[in-house]
Copies of this chain bind each other. A is one copy, B any other.
């Protein structure tokens, strides 16, 4: 599937929040996870800009830990504000996707 970038706007951040909420993890691994999930074109640079934004907005707690196979990793975990943001993301997603599906059904 090619060029989903415009459709991912506004949802990618939520996806990253969801991944972080599942387990404390770091940028490089998040990129791999997104690629596995089918978002094959999502690139490291994109994920890092999202992570920096989350940090700047105070939605995550960051912990730096050494790695045995490379440079130190920055692990991200959701804080209370992050969990709240994730909840509103899913609410918005539910709202938007249901309405688009309804439109698709020839919808009234």
Contact = CB atoms under 8 A, between A and B. Distances in A.
B99 A37 contact: yes
A65 to B, nearest CB: 25
A48 to B, nearest CB: 19
A69 interface: no
A104 B5 CA distance: 20
Interface string A1-39: 100111111110001001100100000000000000111
B37 A7 contact: no
A14 to B, nearest CB: 8
B103 A11 contact: no
A97 B74 CA distance: 29
Interface in A68-97: 90-93, 95-97
6 contacts: A1-B91, A6-B9, A7-B10, A8-B96, A11-B100, A37-B99
